[in-house]
Each structure stands twice: as C-alpha cells, then as structure tokens.
Amino acid sequence: MDILGYYNYWVFAVLLMIGFYAVIARGNLIKKLLGLSIFQSAVFLMYITMDKVEGGTAPIIQPGAVDQIYSNPLPQVLILTAIVVGVSTTALGLSIVVRIKETYGSVEEPEIFDADDV
Amino acid sequence: MVILFGLFLLTLLVLTAVAIVRTPNLFVAVMLMAIFSLLMAANFFILDAADVALTEAAVGAGVTTVIFLSALALTADRERVTKTGTYFAMGVVSVTVVVLIYATFDKPVLGDPNAPVHQHVAPWYLEQTPELIDIPNVVTAVLGSFRGYDTLGEVFVVLVACIGVQFILGASPPPQAPRGQDEQGLRHHLVPQVVGRLLFPFIILFGLYVQFHGEYGPGGGFQAGAIIATGLILHALLEGESAALKAIPPNTLLAMVAGGALLYTLVGVLGIVLGGNFLDYSVLHSNPVTGQQIGILMIEAGVGITVCGALLSIFHAFAVRD
C-alpha cells in the first residue's frame, strides 16, 4: 500500500511531461497553450496532493466535532487563486495567438518562421 | 475504496492528457481539456480540497473551454502535424519523467501527517481561525485574512491580464464586420434556447450563494466570480453578442474589474486609517472578530466583482471579433 502513496506524484510527473512535450514538439500555437494548461494542472495536482492528511476532511470546521483531523488549508489557498490567475494568463496567451493569426495568416510555427525569413 | 477511486481517476487523467496531445483536431482537444478539468476537479475533491475543486470545475471546465473555443473560431480548428524533432523531444521528456519519478521517492507518502508541509504554519491556522476570525471555512480565513496580501496580489494579476487582453485584442478594429448570422446567437436552436434560459437564473443564484456562503462552506469570491461569469457567458451565447453587450456594456465590465480591485485595496487602506496595519481588519469594528468577518466579506465581494468582470470582458474581447 505504501507504494501507492506515491502514485499521485507519478501522475504529476507524467502529466507535467505530457504538457511539456506538447509545448516543445508541437508546432501549433493553440496546442502549445493546451500543453501549457496540462503542465499547469500537473503542478496544481502536486500541491493538492501535499495537503491531504490521512483520515482528514476538508478544512471546514464543524461545530461540536472533537478530535477531527483537517487537511492542510494552505496549499488549497495557493492553488485556488492560481487556477483563476491561470485562466487569465491563458487568455492573454490566446489573444496573442489570435493577433499572430491575423498578422501571419497562420498559427503553425514553421509557417510563421518562414514568413519571417522572407 | 477511496484509494481505488483515486487511482482510477488519476489514470483517466493521464489517458485524457495523452489524447489531448495526440489528436490533430483542436476542437476535440479543447473538449477533452474540459473533461480533463472535470477529472482534475474530482481528484481535488477526494484529496479534501473542496474549495479548489469548485474553482477548477467552474473555471477549468467552464470559462477556459469557452475562451479556447472562441480563440479556435478566430484561428484554425485543425493542426498541421509536423514530424521534425519529435523523437528528440520524446527522449528528453522520457528521461525527465524517469528522473522526476525517482525524485518522488524522497517525498512523504500521500496523507502522511508528519510531512514537513503540515508542521509549519498550517496547524496554527487551523487552531487560531475559530478564535481570531470565528468562521468555519479555514480556507476562506487564510485566503481573506491571514494571507490577504497574497490574494490582493492575485487579484491584481487578474486585473493586469484582463488589461493585457483588452490592449492586444482591442488595439485594432475587427478585420471584418460581424456576420449577420452570428448576431442571432443560438436563437434558431430551440433546445439550447429553452434549457439555457431555464438554467440561467439558477446559475446566477448559485453564484451568489457561493459568494455569500464562502465563510461557511466551500466557496468565495474567486469561485462565485467564475460561476456568475459562466452564467452570463451562457446568456451571451444564447442571445448573441450585441444583446449581451447591451445588457452589460463593456465599460461597466471594465469598471467592475477595476472597482473590485479598488474595493479590496480600500479595505486595506481603511485598516491603516483606523489605526491598524494594511489589510488588518480587526480595527474595522469594536469587536476584532466581527471586524475580521466584515473585512473578509468586503474583500471577497471585491474579488468576486473583479474576477467576474475580468472573465466576462476577456470573453467579449474574443467574441466581438468572431
């Protein structure tokens, strides 16, 4: 059972690299941003994995509950705000992609480089 | 049982991520991204992070998908697959995965109560929240009061990102005049029209509930802002852009974005004026605990207004060009 305790972290590592692969190996700018979103979600998963306490529950204090274990609220606060900031920055990236499409007529990296060389 | 469920969800998560990267159809990739977010939200929920799960479900599966789709409408929905450098990238990525997995064995196992992360300030937050702030949801207490300065920074990041999108997409007029058909929204589709109109008031009501119930249950300004924005985006999709912009003009949205951040800052400054520190809510009322509660309520309202306004104006910035 102990080895399964690391499964979350393995998934984090794999997701992180799947996202990174999309960023470095795919030429389409939208695909790169999707990859970046996966990368970002992987980091969120790592933080939230750290907050879990065995036998704990969500950190909302129940009146009258004695000896109740609560999971760690701090990583949750950090990630909660990061998710909303994440969507705003992704939108910023997408708006740049839209302008690139209008200027170059393409969102494929090789075509954009070719247009720059001419 | 919960562990098995977690393993299942995490494995699905990896499969979905692989499918997102592999498919050349970007429309499919974006829809898979919404599923990915929902799975992620379910994972957060079984890891005891109810607030984060709510945020991820509202933002990741709702708003992000719509913004990606409106960007796809302006670019291309098919990817031209290039094969150059893929083997090299695959090699780099595989080596890094192995190294990262090797490194995870140094981490404490899932749920270990003796992990360093649980020894630092977290127990103090859990112990002191009932005494100092007296609200049940510790996440809201940490977000609004103990780490209020941090949250103020995040609100300003959202504000700046929104301004950035406005500058980048609003700098030049749309290349072509809006097409007549788009102006109708989904008005000629009966089923989305009827279901959407039925859902719309309940989404807004739920958003308001999440906003004002954030001290007692999972929720708060970030989630509520995203949920209300989702409801209003649904309205915009159903009725068409011009009707939505007539209901809430772009200037009102920008005033919301700036006004929410200003409200947050003003509450902080009010703390100084009344003789405390910046963002010290204890001085807002003769009873410090009540002062904390008033402060959190006000800054959560500021956060909600900013997030809702920012997400909506970002959506409109994309949709107006379509």
Which domain, by its residues, includes B29?
1-81
Q: Indicate if the pLDDT at residue A83 is higher than 80.
A: yes
Residue B176 pLDDT: 56
Q: What is the pLDDT of residues B40-90, one digit of tens each?
A: 999 999 999 999 999 999 998 889 999 999 999 998 888 887 777 789 999
- Identify the closest residue of chain B to A39 by CA–CA distance: B17
Mapping DSSP onto H, E and C, the string for chain A reads CCHHHHHHHHHHHHHHHHHHHHHHHCCEHHHHHHHHHHHHHHHHHHHHHHHCECCCECCECCCCCCCCCECCHHHHHHHHHHHHHHHHHHHHHHHHHHHHHHHHCCCEHHHHHHHHHC
- Identify the closest residue of chain A to B119 by CA–CA distance: A72
CA distance B7 to B10: 5
Report the complex ipTM. 0.94
Residues B178 and B35 in one domain: no
The number of distinct structural domains making up chain B is 2
Mean pLDDT, chain A, integer: 90
Residues B139 and B186 in one domain: yes
What tokens appear for A109 in the block?
């990296």
Q: Indicate if the pLDDT at residue B154 is higher than 60.
A: yes
Residues B144 and B224 in one domain: yes
Residues B164 and B287 in one domain: yes
Q: Which of B50, B81, B112 is the last residue of a domain?
A: B81
Q: Which of B81, B106, B136 is the last residue of a domain?
A: B81
Residue A1 pLDDT: 54
Residue B77 pLDDT: 81
What tokens appear for B137 in the block?
């949801």
Contact assignment for B79 to A26 by CB distance below 8 Å? yes
Q: Which of B56, B81, B106 is the last residue of a domain?
A: B81
CA distance A7 to B11: 10
Residues B223 and B288 in one domain: yes
Residues B136 and B10 in one domain: no
pLDDT band at B171 (very low <50, low <70, confident <90, very high): low
The answer to whether position B234 is within a domain reads: yes
Residues B60 and B137 in one domain: no
Backbone angles phi, psi at A55, to 5 degrees: 75, 5
Q: Indicate if the pLDDT at residue A61 is higher than 70.
A: yes
Residues B73 and B127 in one domain: no
Residue A99 forms contact with B (CB below 8 Å): yes
Residues B163 and B69 in one domain: no
- Identify the closest residue of chain A to B36 by CA–CA distance: A38
Residues B22 and B164 in one domain: no
The answer to whether position B89 is within a domain reads: no
Domain spans in chain A, listed from the N-terminal domain onward: 3-52+71-117
Residue B173 pLDDT: 58
B112, A43 contact by CB (below 8 A): no
Q: Which of A16, A31, A47, A60 to mutate to test the interface with B (most CBs of B within 10 A)?
A: A60
Residues B210 and B309 in one domain: yes
Q: Which of residues 18-77 of A touch B (CB under 8 A)?
A: 18-22, 24-31, 33-35, 37-38, 41, 44-45, 48-63, 69-77
Residues B40 and B165 in one domain: no
The answer to whether position B260 is within a domain reads: yes
pLDDT band at B240 (very low <50, low <70, confident <90, very high): confident
pLDDT band at A100 (very low <50, low <70, confident <90, very high): very high
The answer to whether position B115 is within a domain reads: no
Backbone angles phi, psi at B285, to 5 degrees: -145, 155
CA angle A62, B144, B34 (to 5 degrees): 85
Q: What is the pLDDT of residues A33-49, one digit of tens each?
A: 999 999 999 999 999 99
Backbone angles phi, psi at A108, to 5 degrees: -95, 130
pLDDT band at B175 (very low <50, low <70, confident <90, very high): low
The answer to whether position B308 is within a domain reads: yes
Fold (CATH) for A3-52+71-117: Helix Hairpins (1.10.287)
The answer to whether position B86 is within a domain reads: no
The answer to whether position B113 is within a domain reads: no
